[in-house]
Amino acid sequence: MTGEANDDGKQAMRARIRAARRDFVAALDPAGRALALRMPPSPLQALLAHATVVAGYLAIGSEASPAGLLDWAAARGARIALPFVSRPAVPMRFLAWAAGDSLRPGPLGLMQPDPDTAEELAPDLILAPLIAFDRGLRRLGQGAGFYDRAFARYPDAQRIGVAWSVQEVPLVPDDPWDVPLHAVVTEKEWIT
């Protein structure tokens, strides 16, 4: 399939899965949402315990939040980094962040570390947001290519998708630049 043919498929899938994710989260009670993904499943605990730098993200909207996983990793000595983006043409960077550090508003209502003060870190494990995933560990993101480029820049980092179970699809359309995940963690399951 060509990149153009996939583009339509990817856009339609993004719209459909975003809607499913929103409905799923709306039906969760706040306590259930807060408890989801608090505790890493044991295979992920082993990975987080050995990681020096764990990159995560601050969830927005109905995204599944890796906050509990980041807390767990930080408590075991990992440094935490968060993504920083400015414009689509500029590659995403991972900047050091610890609880209490200041954040600044970025695009899409994201809160990001301050690029003037936060140190850039090379992650050895990346907890990545996503729109959709499949059992082949293909990942569909927001379409800016930020994560695919970051995965190419840090090829030795573990790539772990964080998602609600309703974001699973039978098959994510694959393009040549798409980098597969090593695993996906959901509120229900560890998928490898």
Ligand X SMILES: Nc1nc2c(c(=O)[nH]1)N(C=O)[C@@H](CNc1ccc(C(=O)N[C@@H](CCC(=O)O)C(=O)O)cc1)CN2
Ligand Y SMILES: Nc1ncnc2c1ncn2[C@@H]1O[C@H](COP(=O)(O)OP(=O)(O)OP(=O)(O)O)[C@@H](O)[C@H]1O
DSSP 135: T
Distance, in Å, from the CA atom of 106 to the CA atom of 15, rounded to the nearest integer, reads: 23
Does position 115 bind ligand X by CB under 6 A?
no
Window contacting ligand X (CB under 6 A); options: 28-36, 38-46, 87-95, 164-172: 87-95
| Closest distance to ligand Y from the beta carbon of 163 (Å) | 12
Rounded to whole angstroms, how far apart are CA atoms 90 and 102?
A: 22
Shortest CA distance to 170 belongs to which of 126, 117, 133? 133
- Residue 111 partner contact from ligand X, ligand Y, none using kind-dependent CB cut-offs of 5 to 8 Å: none
Interface segment toward ligand X; rule CB under 6 A; list 1-9, 25-33, 119-127, 139-147: 139-147
Residue 85 interacts with which of ligand Y, ligand X, none, CB < 5 to 8 Å by class: ligand X
Instruction: Label residue 148 exposed, middle or buried (CB < 10 Å: 0-12, 13-18, 19+).
Output: middle
* Chain contacts with ligand X (rule: CB under 6 A): 57-60, 63, 83, 85, 87-88, 92, 107-108, 110, 129, 141-142, 144, 146-147
